Structure 1
Amino acid sequence: MPESWVNLAESLGADLHLELTGPGSRRAVLIRALRDAVRSGRLTPGTRLPPYRSLAADLGIARNTVADAYAELVAEGWLSARQGSGTRVAHRAQPLTPTRAPAHRAPVSRPTHNLLQGQPDAASFPRTAWLAAARRALTAAPHDAFGPGDPRGRPELRRALADYLARTRGVRTDPERIVICSGFAHALRLLLPAVLPGPLAVESYGLPFHRHLLATAGLRTHPLGIDEHGAVSAELAEAKGVEAVLLTPAHQFPLGVPLHPDRRAAVINWARESGRYVLEDDYDGEFRYDRKPVGALQGLDPERVLHIGSVSKSLSPAVRLGWMVLPDRLIDAVLEAKGEREAWAGVTDQLTLAEFLAHGAYDRHIRRMRQRYRRRRDQLLDAVADHAPHLTVTGIAAGLHAVLQLPDGAGEPDEQAALRAARWQGLALDGLSGYRHPEATMTAHHGLVVGYAAPSDSAFPAALEALCRALPPLG
């Protein structure tokens, strides 16, 4: 096929040179030429392309060939198409530029929009209230607060947490059963394998990082199926040799379903009858939008459930504070595992959080952020309904993310194509397949895990527009 000049005077005021050469069908050659024009910058973001009939006439090829080429480039994220505005070069029609990285690590991309799950809005950290709490806490702190201290954590924080967790999450505890840690990962490192040495049952979909921690500790994991009622607790009877089960019962991560009351009871019965334990990851229990929060599983049996939480979602991952609410018989073993003081959380942050909780600032912050995140969730739902109504949105009753499930029959290649389109739009988000346990036998889910909390209020509309441009079209 010869080289061609295409008249784009209506949109560019100049001619555009397309290299219509090389092997392949006319459709493939045209797609390659348009990609090259965008990649080189000769077609800039927002540029309107001619109607496919006009381009077909200029090139002397069939209209369907041009129409198919446009559709393919829209699906890949190079172009965008909306009724009434024609086909244009996408606003992010170039791959993310990797930064220089060590040879043993994967390249790190710099996305324009952060829609990764599990990250709160950093711009909304309550700086003024936190600073005021820190001043009050340090002014009132006893001198022994700055000595060796208690490996359980500061008593002020443990008292405040005992009151707060009982009031908001239905946790049954007292300050002596609470051990302060740096977050959920730190809690796992303290518990496994020194305290809970055996294999664990886990949900078939969950954080790969947690599975990695368990594997590093030398522990095998047994995946449990998940359906519309949460983890299939009946499978615990077939999980031979497991010493405990790790669950996200309030809001299954990442699929978003709460554990059904009957299954909550079944898990507790399994733990009681077998003398085993339940690790409850209460990672975003405060953020429930459509009904009252689901109470903590620990409230059903404080001697069989280890309740673990942190402020990484509610406040900031930079505030390295979490807690374990433990059965009496495990406290000494956890404190022995905690060991040296270097592994303890900072005293000043502990005192500040205690003050923040005791004077209601934490409750006010949670209420404010719950309203903000709910608005963003609703905006996301409206946008998906307008631009991709064929996608099913799940996990929306709580939390900081939603799952956009691809239609029935979609597979791993479809999910990867959607992720590539998202990267072209400058989006950082994950696919569901990355959370699947490698030994899971349940039916696979495919889709996008969209975090709507991380962007600031001013940045969220642009992130939502970019997501809409990346969503896969019907069919």
Structure 2
Amino acid sequence: MLWIPINRSVDIPLIRQVYQHIRERILNGELHAGYKLPSTRELASDLDVSRNVILEAYDQLLAEGFIETRRGSGTFVAAGTYLTEHKKMHVPSFVYRCQDENKHSNVISFRSGIPELDLFPRKTWAKLSHSIWNEASPSAFGYDIPEGRPELREVLSRYLLKTRGVYCHPEQLVITSGATQALTLVAKLFLSAGDEVIMEDPITNDIQMIFASQGASLYPVPVDEHGMKTFLLPENKSPKFVFVTPSHQFPLGGTLPIQRRIELINYAREVGSYIVEDDYDSEFRYEGPPVSSLQGLELERVIYIGSFSKILSPALRMGYIILPPQLIESCRRLKWFTDLHTPSLDQLILARFIDEGYLERHIARMKKLYRSRRDVLIRCLKTTFSEQIKIFGESTGLHLVVEFQGCLFSKEVLEKMLYFGIRIYPVEDHAIEKGRHNNRLILGYGHLKPEEIEEGIARLHQAVASRP
């Protein structure tokens, strides 16, 4: 008798349960080559299931070569089906790290870079989506060009000139699946083992890993409240490119002044390198006029990267690279090898969303909201900690940095924060050269309600005050 446990309370079909159980026992050698299986009628009776269930399970095993039939003799396990050290596959139990921590627990997370997802313009997006799906030409449903739909590239080139001072022809744009893919394409385009990259320090740890994964050596240049200290750029290096976030340095929040921008451009010209400009969230500027892009000053050497993750939603996975003409074809080929193209219909929806003015209205609305949340955060910090702190980078974006006097945020202290129901993110995690930012925290506020901000800072104060 071949016993197979049948569970009628789960969603797995009975056919699949029988097939999987026999398959596993064959692979691990429990049912060896030449073993005669029960007849379909006999096994159906033993398991109290329909004979058709067993017939279909056997048919699947037969089609995959696990069993064979012998005329007049029955059904047998085929030779060569034992897999040494086969382990039954199981789905691990884990929590995706980007899960909304505040929604499912009492922990208040000050993670940076998360917009207010509750206010994504769903109705407008759904309306445009319905129109695009009904009106799009048949070509939009087929394989597309790697650089992206011309409709989006044309609209985006006009929008970026108007809002960011970016000068480009639509042919210079390559649409990507978010800024991460854009950065990965840049890394593959330029870097091999041993190549050098000059980077701001600190700078996003994920970006460091992307460049280092290509074998590059990272040369850190410190930043201050005005961004990269360009007067410290090395004279004896030949970097493939210099990576900067000039409009809103991450994480310290500085804006690179024109003097340093010119110094950086002159440096790139002298050493023959490119400049990679990551413009990740500068649409949300709360003090002073908008800051123009670095790309608008140097069209031949600056590679400009942007995305819609912060201003709309990370789920869209929509970003772009603007390339000097001499790099366009190489980047297009790399994009094609990566994923052929970014989803075409999503590009058409986004193009319509921008062209009809919805994006600018959404940004204006969210800018007011984020400014008010920033003000709540600053008020709570100053009221709670008084002269103990110094705030950096509050004029732009979805986060600010707080420096605490006499407080070092070690791993043990960070773990203790969770005991008080707060998750915080130290600047030191993003430092290339360690030991300079141990007393600084990144506090993201875009996704937090005012009452969550107030409660979070109260918990932070409790945690800091409880230190030995």
Alignment of 1:285 with 2:282, yes or no, is: yes
Instruction: Calculate the aligned-residue CA RMSD, in Å.
Output: 2.5
SS at match of 1:237: coil
Give the TM-score of the pair, scaled to structure 2.
0.73
**Conserved 8 A contact 1:384-1:468:** no
Separation in structure 2 between the aligned mates of residue 459 and residue 279 of structure 1, nearest angstrom: 36
User: Partner of 1:396 in structure 2?
Assistant: 394
User: Partner of 1:118 in structure 2?
Assistant: 113
Identity, % of aligned pairs? 35
Alignment of 1:437 with 2:425, yes or no, is: no
Q: How many residues align?
A: 368
Give the TM-score of the pair, scaled to structure 1.
0.72
User: Partner of 2:186 in structure 1?
Assistant: 191
The letter of the residue matching 1:451 is G
Using the TM superposition, give the Cα deviation of residue 100 of structure 1 relative to its aligned residue in structure 2, in angstroms.
Answer: 6.2
User: Partner of 2:442 in structure 1?
Assistant: 449
Structural mapping, 1:118-267, within 5 Å: 118-197=113-192, 198-238=195-235, 240-267=237-264
The letter of the residue matching 2:308 is V
The Cα offsets for residues 28-50 of structure 1, whole Å up to 9 and x where unpaired, read as xxxxxxxxxxxxxxxxxxxxxxx
Provide structure 1 residue ranges, at least 5 long, that are not aligned to the other structure: 1-98
SS at match of 1:371: helix
User: Partner of 1:383 in structure 2?
Assistant: 380
**Worse-superposed segment, 459-468 or 291-300:** 459-468
Using the TM superposition, give the Cα deviation of residue 358 of structure 1 relative to its aligned residue in structure 2, in angstroms.
Answer: 0.3
Using the TM superposition, give the Cα deviation of residue 309 of structure 1 relative to its aligned residue in structure 2, in angstroms.
Answer: 0.3
User: Partner of 1:273 in structure 2?
Assistant: 270
User: Partner of 1:12 in structure 2?
Assistant: none
The Cα offsets for residues 240-277 of structure 1, whole Å up to 9 and x where unpaired, read as 13110110000110001111211101111112232210
Alignment of 1:358 with 2:355, yes or no, is: yes
Provide structure 2 residue ranges, at least 5 long, that are not aligned to the other structure: 1-91
Using the TM superposition, give the Cα deviation of residue 415 of structure 1 relative to its aligned residue in structure 2, in angstroms.
Answer: 4.9
The letter of the residue matching 1:230 is G
**Conserved 8 A contact 1:134-1:355:** no
User: Partner of 1:91 in structure 2?
Assistant: none
Runs of 4+ in 1 over 6 A off after TM superposition: none
Q: Looking at both structures, which has the greater relative contact order when contacts are Cα pairs under 8 Å and sequence separation is at least 6?
A: 1
SS at match of 1:225: strand
**Conserved 8 A contact 2:427-2:437:** no
**Conserved 8 A contact 1:223-1:437:** yes
**Worse-superposed segment, 418-427 or 168-177:** 418-427
Using the TM superposition, give the Cα deviation of residue 459 of structure 1 relative to its aligned residue in structure 2, in angstroms.
Answer: 4.6
Using the TM superposition, give the Cα deviation of residue 467 of structure 1 relative to its aligned residue in structure 2, in angstroms.
Answer: 3.9
Change (3 A) 1:274 1:341: closer
Change (3 A) 1:291 1:428: same
Using the TM superposition, give the Cα deviation of residue 179 of structure 1 relative to its aligned residue in structure 2, in angstroms.
Answer: 0.3
**Worse-superposed segment, 465-474 or 443-452:** 465-474
**Conserved 8 A contact 1:114-1:454:** no
Separation in structure 2 between the aligned mates of residue 344 and residue 185 of structure 1, nearest angstrom: 15
Separation in structure 2 between the aligned mates of residue 170 and residue 426 of structure 1, nearest angstrom: 43
Separation in structure 2 between the aligned mates of residue 448 and residue 369 of structure 1, nearest angstrom: 24
Separation in structure 2 between the aligned mates of residue 369 and residue 209 of structure 1, nearest angstrom: 26
